[in-house]
Structure 1
Amino acid sequence: MSKRILHLNVNGEYFDDVKSGTKGEEYRVFNDYWSKRLEGREYDEIHYKKGYPKKGDMSKTLIFPYNGYAVKTITHKHFGQEPVKVFAIFLTK
């Protein structure tokens, strides 16, 4: 049976923060797109990628076990100045 993988592509700033251990969650806006991919689904792993690396370029991919998510309301520069509801996907080993 193949692994169920959640692929998350991010910009370099966030990738580097996760790699250094200063960021432990990845945020995705709470909308239909992400609801369909997260709610009621189980994954085995998260492949957290810096941009869109070439296939096999593991220097730009971090692999985490899938440990679920929480729904939160946050303020974040990427989403604007107003609080926004997000899926906070756990990135822990």
Structure 2
Amino acid sequence: MSTLHLPLKSIYFDQIKSGEKVEEYRKANPYWAKRLEGRSYFDIELTKGYPPKGDTSRRITRPWLGYRKTTITHPHFGPDPVEVYAIRVN
């Protein structure tokens, strides 16, 4: 199995690292459907932006725990409710 790589904005990376944030959201669209639906991963690698290969302080590797499809309202996606994949990262 492979690893799912998710580059994150600094604020979200820090929230996941501290345990405050337990799900990472990706908009439900054909791009993410192809990468998530019907697939399984060994683990998930979360990065703070796009760090150099040897920069371990900006990488978190966690086991793959799956995802759920849900509807949320979040400032990152605009003022209207939007369907997302909520990827478990805790």
Structure 2: how far apart are the matches of 1:57 and 1:46? Answer: 17
Matched residue, 1:71: 69
User: CA separation in 2, counterparts of 1:5 and 1:57?
Assistant: 18
Q: Which residue, 31, 51, 54 being the options, matches 1:56?
A: 54
Structure 2 unpaired stretches of 5+: none
* Letter of the structure 2 residue corresponding to residue 77 of structure 1: P
Q: Which runs of 5+ in 1 are unaligned?
A: none
Q: Deviations over 1:15-57 (max 9, x none)?
A: 0000111000000000000000000111001000000000121
Please give the alpha-carbon distance, in whole angstroms, between the structure 1 residues aligned to 2:32 and 2:54: 26
Which of the numbers 80, 83, 87 marks the counterpart of 1:82? 80
Q: Which runs of 4+ in 1 moved over 2 A?
A: none
Aligned sequence identity (%): 53
SS at match of 2:81: strand
How many residues are treated as equivalent by the alignment?
Answer: 90
- Distance in 2 (CA, whole Å) between partners of 1:51 and 1:27 is 16
TM-score, normalised relative to structure 2? 0.97
Counterpart CA distance in 2 for 1:56 and 1:29 is 30
User: What is the alpha-carbon distance in structure 1 between the residues aligned to residue 79 and residue 62 of structure 2?
Assistant: 30
Question: TM-score with structure 1 length normalisation?
Answer: 0.94
CA RMSD, Structure 1 to Structure 2 (Å)? 0.7
